[in-house]
Every structure is written in C-alpha cells, then in structure tokens.
A and B are shown apart, each in its own frame.
Chain A
Amino acid sequence: MTDMASLMEDRAAAKVISDNLRKPVDWDSPKIARNIKKRYAAERRFKIYGLAAIFLALTALFVLAGSIGSKGYSAFYQTYVQLEVTFDKSVIDPDGTGDPEVIGRANYDGLIKSALRERFPDVTARRDKRNLYGIVSGGASYDLRERVLENPSLIGQTRSVWLISGDDFDMLNKGYIDPAVPEGDRRLNDQEVGWYNELVADGAVDKQFHARFFTNGDSREPELAGIWGAAVGSFYTLIVTLALSFPIGVLAAIYLEEFAPKNRFTQIVEVNINNLAAVPSIVFGLLGLEVYLNVMHLPRSAPVVGGLTLALMTLPTIIIASRAAIKAVPPSIRQAALGLGASPVQTVTHHVLPLAMPGILTGTIIGMAQALGETAPLLMIGMVAFIVDVPGSALDPATVLPVQIYLWADSPERAFVEKTSAAIMVLLAFLVLMNGLAVYLRKKFERKW
C-alpha cells in the first residue's frame, strides 16, 4: 500500500523535472553564470569557515600546550651541587659497630652543613650560615644516608658528592630568579648569588634528570615533591570506579536495551539516566559525603570512597555509550541466534555483547578519563589534602593527580609553578594514552555491517 503511494509520488516528481528539462537551459546566460559563481563562492566560504574553526581550535591547543610545556619542562631536571663531604666516622658510627641501625640514625644533615662550611670558610654570621645551608636541600641528607647504608666502606673517607640543591638555588640556576634585579626584591641576596657564581665557576653545579618527581609523594619542599603518591591514588580510585561502574553500567544497558518492556517506567528510567549524565560533579561529591562517609562511615580521604563517588558519576556515561553500542548490533544477528535455538540470554552473551564490546569499551574508557580529571566531588570527601605517604591500599588516605595540580598551583613557593605545569603534562599524557587506547580498541574490533 505504502509502496504504491510512494511510487505515485515519484512519478509526479519525475514529470515535473522532465517538464522543466524540456525547456532548454542557456548555460551561458549571465543569470546562470552569476548563479554558479555564487554557488562556488558559498562553497569556498563554507570551507574557509571550517578551516578557521579548526585553526582556532588548534591555536588554542598549541597556546595551552606551549605555555604548559615551556613552563613545565624545567621540572624534569633538577639542580645538583657538588661538595666534598667527609664521611666522618665519629659522626656516623663512633663505636665502629657497623650496625646499620646506628649508621641509619646518624646526623647526615650535620655532615652536609660542615661540608658547606668548609667550602665557604669565610661565612661566620649565624644568619649567613642559615642562608648557606639553603644551597643544599633538606632532602639531601636522606640520599647520603642511603649511600652510606649501601656502601659502609665510605665511612672515614672524603668524597665529592652531588647533592640535590634547595629550591631557591634551583630557581636561580634555571633562570627564574634574575640576579639583575635589586637585591631586596629577590629571594636570594647578593652573597647567595655570589656563592652560586663561585660554585658555577668551579663546575660544581649541574642539572640532572629529576627522577624524584616521578617517584616521590607530595612535599612542601618543591625539590622533593613528586607525583607518585597522586598517581597511585588516581590508580586506586580508578580501579574502584571501574570495578563498580563497568559491570553495573553494562548490565543496566543490556537490560534496558534487550529485555525491558517499553513502558512508562523504563521511559522514566531512561530520562533520569540522561539527566544524571548532565548533573554537575560536585552534586555527586555531596551525595558521596552523605552516604559513604556519614551513613556508611567509610574512611575519609580514601580512594575507595573517591572511587565509589566517581562510579556514580561515570555510570550514566557508560550506560548511554553501552546502550548505543548494543543498539548498533543489527537485529539480524539476534534473529539468527534465536532462530537457531539460542535462549535470549545466550543470544545476548554469545552474540550481542561481544559485538557491542568495542563501543562499550570506548564509552567506558572515555568515562574513566573523565573520572581521572575530576576534582570537585573529591573535595567533599576529603581527598583534597596534603598527603606525603604514598598510599599502600585503597583504604589509605590519598589524593589524585588533578588535586595535586590544584594544590601545587595554590602554593606560594615559586618553584611549584614548574611542578604544576609538569604535573599537568603527566595528567595529559595519561588522558592521551587512555583516549588512544579507546581509539585502538575501536579500530581493532570494529565490525562494519
């Protein structure tokens, strides 16, 4: 019936066209020429608009990446100072026990201080000495301790050692402190700059790859602060999020798409899921605070709570993506399976789900990437915190990468500016990796129908 009707319509349309065709068109007439010119101009304009849009987006991206990169690359290396350190036996191991416990407790800070005093013997005033000790970071004593514990034969010897420098000297060496500005206006006074120049002249200042940035937890000393603690926190949080939101999301999507009757109830559920996907993340944070902390009494600041909260946030994303992926599996696959005697559950688990998996995984990874970049809900559950210890489980207090960026961006010390940018680079690298994985999975398992 409908076929007949459309056939009649087609015929009528064809007649109109052929009637017009009968009149010869003068392609050289000025009217047509104008018309064609206009059409070409419109085409060109459209292309220019498109190119301009892409150009703008790319410029914004380059400016962002450029400013982050130019500020942050210097955080990947660190200034080291070479000093003659005497591993004084009377300080490290006065009784000659060789006991690692005794050696471990020794005052390595004192060794570094006396090495600095020997290097600059004319510094006597108390205040100047304090400035002098600032050349070397407070963390350097731990390096010395490790070194001696590893190689006890050092005790009693004098060796030249490269020690990690303090943050102000690092900034000076990297050119962020300008020695040309008046003395009172900079962090380092003329005497300190003089020491620096003397050390440089002796070849005792060097830049080395800053591995600590990747292996340490947070610290208030910029030169000791690292992102490992935050990265581990992010890892635990995402694991919890994934373990919870992936199975629940996929099950919900399968049920809604394959089994649920289409009635008012499922419609309401559907509208709500779409709505939840647009709810600001801070709302999930408040919910997490109320439910997980106040009612269930889970530990504050723990990745498990962060993960549970972020799972709520990513669930709608995963459900929507999974439903779209399941819908894209052609009905013929289901019909064939059912026709061969598979039960509805077998049809779904053996055929529909494997075919929908690339789409589901893509949606899940994008949801996870979103969760990785989230800070607002974590504020409410206490993950925006200064935490030095690297978390050992999902129950230890932890923070996550974007929160670490926020905390560093808010720190007064100049050296944290480069750390902030470097941490942003690391976070971006993770996001690129995750999105790249999503693209790879899609390309690898995608089926064209």
Chain B
Amino acid sequence: MTQNIKLYGAIISKSMRQFATYRTNIFAGIVSALFMLGARWALWVALFATGNAGDITLAETMTFFVVGDFVMVWMGTSFGDVIGEDNRSGDIALKITRPCSYHFQLLAERHSVAVIETLTKSVPIFIAAAVLIGILPPIGAGAFGLFVLAVLLGGAVYFLVDLIISYSVFWLTDYWYVRWYQRAILQLFGGTVLPLWFYPDWLRAIADVLPFRFVMFAPMEIYLGRLSGADVYATFVAALFWIFVLFCAERLIWRRVQYKLVVQGG
C-alpha cells in the first residue's frame, strides 16, 4: 500500500517536472482555456437573452461549466489510447507483471496529466470566470462535502465505464477511434456539454436511467443545491449500485482479456 502511494507520488512529480520544460504548452493551454470560456459565455448569454431558460439562471449554468471543468479534467481522455498502445507495442506484458496492478498504473498516469491540466486549464478558467463573470459558491459547507463525495463516486463510475469501453482495443486492429465512442456516449448521456436540464423529456428519461450523469452532472447539481435532502442519498445509492454492476462487468471482461493475453499471447 505504501509502495503504491510512493509510486503514485513519483509518477505525478515526474510528469510535473517534464511539463515545466514545455513552457509553450502552458501558454497554449491557458490561452485555449480562456478562449473556450469566452466562447461559452457568449453562447449562453445569447441563449439566455431569449428569456426561455425556465428556472435556470445564467450564473448557475456558467458555474456548472466552470466548476464542472475541475471534475472533467480528471476524467478527460480515454484509456483506449494508452491500453491500445500498450497492447500494440507489447508493453502490456511488462506492465502486467510489475508489482503494482496495471489499473493502478493507468490511474496514476491519468492523474499525472490531470494535475497539470488542473493548473493550466481549470484554475485559469476559474479565476477568469470568478473575476469577470461571477461564479456561485457552493450552497453550503455540507453540500460541498456531499459534492466531493459525489465526485469521488462519479470518478469511480467513469473509471469503470472507460475501462470497459477501452478493453475493446484487445479485439480491434486499430484503436485510435475508441476514445471517440467513449466521448460521444459521455457527452450525450452525461450532460457534460449541455446540462440535462435543457434536454427534451424523452432524452432526459434515458439519461436518468444510465450511469453517465453521475460523472459530472449529479455532483454539480448537488453543488448548486438543485438536488438536496433525500434526493442526494437516492443519487448516492443509485451511483453505488452502478459502481457494483460496472465493477462486476469490468472484472469479467478483464478476466477475458487476461486469458487472451496469456493463453493466446496477445
């Protein structure tokens, strides 16, 4: 366990040092983040100008995206690329035999990128938005605690879903497009691009049944206080249920993958 924590720390600090040498990337990251914020702001101002937003305010919507971005950078890319490359190059055999689990290595690598993205993307966006646009604070300390808890549960859901989709690379000849499937599904049912509030009823009904909304939408609703009391706990129970189901599915598929790797030699 301590070994794992040490390794986790080492991977993250290594990527931090590497990144500090690419200063143009930092510049590019910050510029594109601010551009994106500006585009989003202009778009939603124009939409709210129609006065057809119902009970949602512009501030809520912008807070949804700006704070939600802190969550999204930790999900961000798909494992499909990493696993696909490991499989193609044969590195996966090496990585599986290391003393810590392959999944832990995947997670640490992802987080090492996320730490950097948080600093170059989420933080500048947040500061700019807080100063220029105004961001709503969490509804209360308790709600913020529940928000963090919801983010952790959402992270687990995302991790499992991403793994399940990414395992498909073991049965495919090429893998670059796997992440596009993952992205498309998350965008459509997760409410990450357009909050589920604005969905037509039929699509909202489908999204509510599926687990993708736990990734970012549900935590943000708790943050904004649009979900409270018993509803929060109902959401947690549903998320836990999905984590259980997805975990079983993931283990099952991973067994097949290991069988494929060991017996058939990749």
Q: Do A and B bind each other?
A: no
Write the residues of chain A forming the contact surface with B, with a CB cutoff of 8 angstroms. Answer: none
